[in-house]
A and B are shown apart, each in its own frame.
Chain A
């Protein structure tokens, strides 16, 4: 039993103040002599407040004064399609929450976009802004975007510029951190938009139960989450899931994958979220599958044995079917399959004719 002197460590104990870029005392902020938190920096940032035309004019003067010749850049309105788009691999990183949050956030603040024109004439959106404001995937390509355009600059200009002026793009600051920054800033300037508030509440859950959203695809970090669909999981489901996994000594050693919250969402949808027998049975099955990171592989192999492909909706139902077969009597497969007899039979067939599934039954 835990005591105040021996508290249970929830989630990954490695996710501490030491690697939290938003703590002014954390290593990431102190090692480079950066002693102020990002929020503090953001408060001082010219981008923090709504920029009206008068402020913009003042800023323009300020930037001009900082450049010797006074004409290093021009203020232009460019159509979005003219901006260099990201590669498909980069675009993958734009997940829904980020899309909504950063796009709306920056547009609401009317932050101009910094653009560097390279020797080939490409309008490169400068480092640190790529995800939110410029990509043609995020808006009408014919939108006119406010830009501060630099031409004929040296190769190192982009990096230097943002290291100097943009607190977001400091070394080690990831998309995840940028989202947190946006959320924390939103908290300071509430918009009254429920969606923002909901994201911030979910974000707090990550912190509370020792989880982190990481940039890497399919991370192996314990309690690390890297799939964007976690942001659309209902708050109550997320809370129960984090609470359970974060306090389970076995499960908190695993990275958390999509099939995990897929199952928990399914459990909530059909009324098993607070059913300890079902959740415990799921836990035992996951441990038998040697960890959350292998559950999808195992289910995929089972589907293939009966000539089917992986499906994100059928996967959790298949898990429910397996739990039922393993002796969890609380589960009603008709309810799970919305009284669809064909689907019930399909899952039954998958389990019956899959050698792999039979190993777990």
Chain B
């Protein structure tokens, strides 16, 4: 429906959510594998509980960028810091999917279309 090159995703780690964007649609599967590896789970069965809870396409790439930045800014205290203390794109488990989606919906200037829901790309991707 929309023609943005970028996609906005809400990634579910099995415990909490993480927001991010991919700059090329074809790389969504690659990003999933990267995120999954980043979880460093010893048991491969966990892969079944990990998914892209939502993936959106937008009217323009800028809308994806702005929305991601605004959602991150909306949860400054609920984001997990990295080793150096910088806030990452990962939320703690107090942030629900509904809260993230409400924040995305509040970005009235950003026109989105839901592309996938509970999406798990194949391992080959």
| Residues in A lying within 8 Å of B, measured CB to CB | 250, 287-291, 294, 297-298, 355-356, 359-360
**Interface-lining segment among B37-45, B59-67, B82-90, B95-103:** B59-67
Whole-angstrom distance between the Cβ of A197 and the nearest chain B Cβ = 39
**A250→B109 CA distance, assembly (Å):** 9
Contact of A359 among B61, B66, B107, B110 (CB under 8 A): B61
User: Which chain B residues lie closer than 8 Å to A360 at the CB level?
Assistant: 60
B4 touches A (CB below 8 Å): yes
B96 smallest CB distance to A (angstroms): 25
Q: With both chains docked as a complex, state the minimum distance between the C-beta of A195 and any C-beta of chain B, in angstroms.
A: 39
Given A250-B109, A287-B109, A290-B109, check contact A298 B5 (CB 8 Å): no
14 sampled A-B residue pairs with Cβ under 8 A: A250-B109, A287-B109, A288-B59, A290-B62, A290-B66, A290-B67, A290-B109, A291-B66, A294-B62, A297-B62, A298-B62, A356-B60, A359-B59, A359-B60
B27 at the interface (CB under 8 A from A): no
**Beta-carbon nearest neighbor of B111 in chain A:** A288
Most buried by A among B60, B107, B110: B60
Encoded as 1 (CB less than 8 Å from any A CB) or 0, chain B from 34 to 56 comes to: 00000000000000000000000
Task: Give the distance in Å from the alpha carbon of A356 to the alpha carbon of B3 in the complex.
Answer: 10
Interface residues contributed by chain B, number (CB under 8 Å): 13
Contacts of B67 in A (CB 8 A): 290
Hey, which chain B residues are within 8 Å of A359, CB to CB?
3-4, 59-61
A289–B60 CB distance below 8 A: yes
User: CB-defined interface of B1-39 with A at 8 Å, one 1/0 digit per residue?
Assistant: 001110000000000000000000000000000000000
- Residue of B whose beta carbon sits closest to that of A286: B109
Question: How far is B60's CA from A297's CA once the two chains are assembled, in angstroms?
Answer: 13
Would you give the shortest CB distance from A226 to chain B, in whole angstroms? Answer: 19
Residues of A within 8 A of B109 (CB): 250, 287-288, 290-291
Chain A residues whose CB sits within 8 angstroms of the CB of B3 once the complex forms: 359
Q: Given A250-B109, A288-B109, are A355 and B59 neighbors across the interface (CB < 8 Å)?
A: no
Residues in chain B near residue A294, CB distance under 8 A: 62, 66
Give the complex CA separation of A156 and B5 in angstroms: 58
